[in-house]
Amino acid sequence: MPSNVRELRVRTPESEKITINLGFVDLGHIDLLVNERFYANRTDFIRTAIRNQLDRHSDATRKSVARKELALGLRHFSKAELDQVLADGQQLDIRVLGLATIADDVTPELARAAIRSVEVLGALHATSAVKAALADRGG
């Protein structure tokens, strides 16, 4: 990046790549629907199928989110927030359904001191050192 250009904010990816294995017959059915223009491509079909299933089970997931006291969506943990938790003599129990991010300037030592437990249903973005430091806490 040229020295006179500054990045205003770091962009967090809006999706996570997953890999699935499908039987040849199921894959053939998907390709048939794509060829018949019901879906733009295989990914479109799979995303639609997943969204339909999530919608079908929305009451159950809503109740589970409330029962488990999960933060829904994107939750970012900054160094300042973790420093404040420590200053208050507390520890965090991170519970997120979606994306949890821990700032890149958070050291493994700070993460271990400030975070008691981690439960992320979705994705956790943190440095590999912080992830390793939290591995025994569910992260």
Compute the distance between CA of residue 110 and CA of residue 103 in angstroms, rounded to an integer. 11
Domain ranges of the chain: 24-56, 61-137
Phi, psi angle pair for 24, to nearest 5°: -65, -35
**Kind and range of the H or E element at 132?**
helix 128-133
3 φ, ψ (degrees, to nearest 5) = -65, -20
Q: What is the mean pLDDT of residues 14-37?
A: 93
Alpha-carbon distance of 37 to 32, in angstroms, equals 9
Residues 6+ apart with CB under 8 A from 30: 22, 39, 42, 45, 46
Q: Which residue has the higher pLDDT, 122 or 12?
A: 122
pLDDT in tens, 98-115: 999 999 999 999 999 999
Q: Tokens 């794509």 identify what position?
A: 34
Residue 21 has pLDDT above 60, yes or no: yes
**What average pLDDT does the segment 6-21 reach?**
72
pLDDT over 90 at 15, yes or no: no
The reported pLDDT for the residue numbered 101 is: 96
pLDDT score at 48: 97
Give the pLDDT confidence score for residue 93 in this predicted structure: 95
pLDDT at 16: 83
Q: Which of 48, 108, 56, 55 is nearest to 79 (CA)?
A: 108
pLDDT of residue 11: 61
Residue-wise pLDDT tens digits, 44-65: 999 999 999 999 999 999 999 8
